[in-house]
Structure 1
Amino acid sequence: MDGGDRVEDDDRADGESISRLLRAWRARIDARTVPELRYTQPRPGRRLSQAQAARLTGVSEGWYRALEAGRRQDFSESFLLRVAKALRLSEAETLTLFLAVCGRRPPGDPAGAQKDLPHGVKALLEQQVSYPAYLSDGGWNVVASNSLMGEWFPWVLRPAPNLMRWALLHPEAREQMLDWEDSCARTYLAMLRVAANSAPADTELRALVREILDADADCRRIWAQEHDVVEHRDGHVFRLRLPYHGNAEIRVTTHVLLPIQRPDLRFVFITPMDGWAGV
């Protein structure tokens, strides 16, 4: 093996697939093209070795070797991200590394909401003319919406629209969402509880929870008294009274989809019930 690389017995166990991938990814790196290795001794050969990969990721050779061998260790997200950078992994390869090693997706890109929407996702949103629809990120920031969503809910046209801030803190939400406490507040706070525990390192999400609890006494009371958890609102039924419908009461349900091209976003449709056809 080049550079003293070793294949451990554990490579035959359940880590075999990721072990082979890691070796293949490392083998395609020409160590002579890595700036951080330019002045090291001994001078790097063509193939990146395990020792050099360990050097690039800031760990011991034994720790890196354990990763390549497929041994179960407490590998941190920061280490795996350094491995992805050192081995010049693509987005799909980085996802594969994380799912194989720790069973979860890589931490979200802080600039994810700024990425261009895939053409197909944007076209589907814009061409939806029957019902309101919008895209939101993991922090419930609305990153895009169709024209009907803006007519039903003008708040999405305001700067930096956020579903949780509007639904839980804005006075008009309590007028427009009937049974606000039981149908809206308890559900949304239960969703925030799941999200906060799923991503404890997400400072933006933690700040959103703190902002809502600091700003509203009803939300603080519900948060303290309730222990329910809700992952999403797919299929949830709301009763609304909106100016767009002349303040007539309507019942709607939400449908939550995850675009395969942007799994960090939620694609939400709002459809009327009871045969209502006033769009």
Structure 2
Amino acid sequence: MHIAKLPAEARARRSAEMREFLRSRRARVTPAEAGLAAGDSRARRTPGLRREEVAVLAGVGVSWYTWLEQGREINVSGEVLDAIARVLRLDAAEREHLYLLAGLNPPQAPPVAVRRVPDGLRQVIDSWLPRPAYLLDRHWNLVAVNRAAEAVFGYGEDDHNCLVTFFAGARFRSSLLHWRDAAHAIAGQFRADAARYPDDAEFGRLAADLCAVSPEFAEIWAEHDIRGASTGRKTVLHPDAGELTFDYATLTLPDLPGHRLLLHTPAAGTDTEQRLAALLGAAVG
């Protein structure tokens, strides 16, 4: 799928970047690494592969590859870009960059099953204390939750999926202010996520299961509302700490495709920070 057409000045910048990017990546791959006979190295004026060698190895015409490297406006396909990425030994980030420079939307990365949260990420989640933080995978399963999130939102061992807990449990309905507004937002965000992965049947299964057990979710889901939320505010009526209001930010993680980290900060102008400290202190005691 092609991305939106750019203005002339932006296209010129992108073409220049394509030239330098492909030349630099071609220069770092040796003929031996590409499976070619090295030949006489003295005959090579520049290090790495020649344009015609990249073209042959990728199965494209020499003229076509030359035009691509020159940043010309030509038709490209994902299959051809993948072949070039393979020859040039591009990593995932470089392959995505190549797609963007060529005017194509990068393909979605395959899901990453996280059985163990990387140590650095675990440290970030734990060090966010005394503020709540948790990690979700692309199906909204709770992968890691810090102690503050457990205390504030009541996440426990039986809570495996954030969406299911929100709609199928009674806790959020009684504790979250403006539950109905939040329900519309969450269902809309989940539908937007599902559209990003049309081949993933798990989204449909989760939605169908929730429709069967939650009339509210079934009603909202039928509206086909779409929402996006990288930041927001939520207020919780905690049974012990009282009213807690947080501003939150959602961070995507390039090394864990589909995962997102939610970080909560006590809202300015409220006494949430003091109430939160007292709650966590009581939990420790």
* TM-score, reference length from structure 2: 0.68
1:237 aligns to 2:247 (yes or no) = no
1:258 aligns to 2:255 (yes or no) = no
Checking the alignment, whether the CA contact within 8 Å between 2:117 and 2:144 is kept in structure 1 is no
Instruction: Pick closer, same or farther for the CA change 1:230–1:88 going to 2, 3 Å.
Output: same
| Aligned residue in 1 for 2:220 | 222
- The unaligned stretches of length 5 or more in structure 1 are 1-10, 39-44
- Give the AA of the match of 1:163: C
**C-alpha displacement of 1:54:** 4.1
Write the deviation string for residues 243-266 of structure 1: whole angstroms up to 9, x where unpaired. Answer: xx34x7524334114267758443
Instruction: Pick closer, same or farther for the CA change 1:15–1:142 going to 2, 3 Å.
Output: same
- Give the AA of the match of 1:16: A
1:86 aligns to 2:115 (yes or no) = no
Checking the alignment, whether the CA contact within 8 Å between 1:200 and 1:206 is kept in structure 2 is no
Write the deviation string for residues 125-155 of structure 1: whole angstroms up to 9, x where unpaired. Answer: 2122222211223432332221222333454
Instruction: Pick closer, same or farther for the CA change 1:251–1:93 going to 2, 3 Å.
Output: same
1:190 aligns to 2:188 (yes or no) = yes
| 3-state secondary structure, aligned to 1:96 | helix
**C-alpha displacement of 1:191:** 0.9
**C-alpha displacement of 1:187:** 0.9
| 3-state secondary structure, aligned to 2:49 | coil
- Give the AA of the match of 1:225: E
- The unaligned stretches of length 5 or more in structure 2 are 1-10, 38-43, 280-285
Instruction: Pick closer, same or farther for the CA change 1:201–1:49 going to 2, 3 Å.
Output: farther
| 3-state secondary structure, aligned to 2:246 | strand
Aligned residues: CA RMSD: 3.8
| 3-state secondary structure, aligned to 2:102 | helix
Checking the alignment, whether the CA contact within 8 Å between 1:236 and 1:254 is kept in structure 2 is yes
Checking the alignment, whether the CA contact within 8 Å between 1:134 and 1:268 is kept in structure 2 is yes
Partners of 1:222 and 1:271 lie apart in 2 by 29
Write the deviation string for residues 142-199 of structure 1: whole angstroms up to 9, x where unpaired. Answer: 322212223334545447x32222223345443443553x133211111123223344
Partners of 1:190 and 1:27 lie apart in 2 by 46
What is the aligned length? 254
Checking the alignment, whether the CA contact within 8 Å between 2:253 and 2:261 is kept in structure 1 is no
| 3-state secondary structure, aligned to 2:109 | coil
Partners of 1:224 and 1:66 lie apart in 2 by 48
Checking the alignment, whether the CA contact within 8 Å between 1:258 and 1:266 is kept in structure 2 is yes
1:129 aligns to 2:129 (yes or no) = yes
Instruction: Pick closer, same or farther for the CA change 1:196–1:27 going to 2, 3 Å.
Output: same
Partners of 1:55 and 1:118 lie apart in 2 by 43
Checking the alignment, whether the CA contact within 8 Å between 2:149 and 2:155 is kept in structure 1 is no
Partners of 1:82 and 1:207 lie apart in 2 by 35
Partners of 1:66 and 1:214 lie apart in 2 by 55
Partners of 1:49 and 1:253 lie apart in 2 by 56
Partners of 1:203 and 1:65 lie apart in 2 by 41
Checking the alignment, whether the CA contact within 8 Å between 1:164 and 1:188 is kept in structure 2 is yes
| Aligned residue in 2 for 1:268 | 262
Write the deviation string for residues 87-111 of structure 1: whole angstroms up to 9, x where unpaired. Answer: 1123443343233223655522422
* TM-score, reference length from structure 1: 0.70
